[in-house]
Structure 1
Amino acid sequence: MTKTALVTGAASGLGYELSVLLAKDNYDLILVDIDETNLVKVKSALHDTYKCQITILVKDLSKPNVANDILNEIKSVSIDVLINNAGFGLFGTFSGTDWQRESDMLHLHILTTTHLTKLVLDGMLQKGSGKILNMSSLAAFQPGPLMSIYYASKAYMLSFSEAIANELIGTGITVTALCPGPTSTEFQSVVSENTVDNKIRFNMACPSKVALYGYNAMKKGKTVAIPGKFNKFLSVLPRFLTRNRATAIVRKIQDKNRNE
């Protein structure tokens, strides 16, 4: 019996790479993204290569109640894997950044992701199986000056994922939080209107490798997946520093990385 996976943010980056891995494993796909042009291209490429059934949904996941809209459109489909990948970053001081953009980020990273998880989880519980992969970040492990809301939203996603993973022990359902460091995707170019690329590139990861690491972790039911030894080190480093010191270090990195 063919299984079905739902992937948000599937038109590019890690969402696309994860969709490729699912297609290779013979999943039918429901791909969600706001970028209709790239979503159509992804559908065509994956269908031609892997012959899987693919449904695309062009949705703005930053809007209220969009999770309900998605489930209403696919209500006859049983979801075996949910990958909450969609997201974006915003650089700048909290006092100086655009509230509408920040509100969109909070809706996307927190409200829509949480709501979609809740809706899909109901069906998974009924059949006693399922896998959920939530895209968190290395940013989840400490505060992030100059990207304050992004860092905070990823900390929420990590905490939320760990909590429900514990609640679901013994149900046949696992939840994995993937926490990559900087990855060479389109994400970097949309963080700031004045920045087209990262200036610090020594720890920049390959998206296909990050996706494979997260995908394998999800299949194994691992709760927290941090790709790369250096990233694992960075994730625990704040435990050995004062919070003020860890925050100051992140500020220096952001200043170095983004400023012209």
Structure 2
Amino acid sequence: MLIFWGTINGIHFAIQHLKKTRGKIVLISSICGWYPLPTLSIYSASKAAMMNFCEALRTELGSTIGITVVTPGLIETKMTHDWRNFKSIMPEESAKSCAKAIVRSACRGDSYLMEPSWLSQLSQ
């Protein structure tokens, strides 16, 4: 839950500056915020909480600060190096490809980005 409070506090202290500069918030959550996985219950809950916080904040702020919530799937990083169990059910995307998609999405002003894009088919 430290990640949750660190994010909340960081956003709280940045809001006044972001309002003045018409800045944007890009929250990196996880697909686990939408689709929790076994053995990741606390992680999944913290990601869902961050997503809901941003939804409420988006309502409070109106259009003064853009908020893009990114829900990536399995991204190839050092953190996921040993996640053999999850790699068998979900292919990895490169960090570079994911980063490019995040920048494009934030620049467009999207509210949400699910990356890789094929993850959005899970909700249909």
Normalized against structure 1, the TM-score is what?
0.44
Q: Distance in 2 between matches of 1:113 and 1:229?
A: 25
Structure-2 residue corresponding to 1:121 = 15
Cα deviation for residue 147 of structure 1 reads: 0.8
Q: CA deviation at 1:128?
A: 4.8
Task: Pick from 98, 101, 112 the counterpart of residue 6 of structure 2.
Answer: 112
- The 5 A counterparts of 1:57-206 are 106-107=1-2, 109-125=3-19, 127-171=20-64, 173-189=65-81, 196-199=82-85, 200=87, 203-206=91-94
Task: Tell me, yes or no, if the aligned pair for 1:135 and 1:157 is still in contact at 8 Å.
Answer: no
Q: 1: distance between equivalents of 2:55 and 2:78?
A: 27
TM-score, normalised to structure 2, is: 0.87
Cα offset, 1:165, TM superposition: 2.1
Question: What are structure 1's unaligned runs of at least 5 residues?
Answer: 1-105, 190-195, 238-260
Q: Looking at both structures, which has the greater relative contact order when contacts are Cα pairs under 8 Å and sequence separation is at least 6?
A: 2
SS at match of 2:92: coil
Change (3 A) 1:170 1:230: closer
Q: 1:214 aligns with which of 102, 112, 124?
A: 102
Pick the structure with more helix per residue.
2
- Give the conservation status (yes or no) of the 8 Å contact 1:138–1:179: yes
Cα offsets for 1:139-176 (capped at 9, x unmatched):
111333211101111111111122212322232x1011
- Aligned residues: CA RMSD: 1.7
- Distance, in Å, in 2 between the alignment partners of 1:149 and 1:197 is 17
Q: What is the match of residue 230 of structure 1? A: 118
- Paired-residue identity, %: 25
Q: Deviations over 1:195-247 (max 9, x none)?
A: x242425521111111111111111221111123321112x15xxxxxxxxxx
Equivalence map 1:1-80=2 (5 Å):
none
Name structure 2 gaps, 5 residues minimum: none
How far does residue 178 in structure 1 lie from its aligned partner after superposition? 0.7
Contact 1:183 1:206 in 2 (8 A): yes
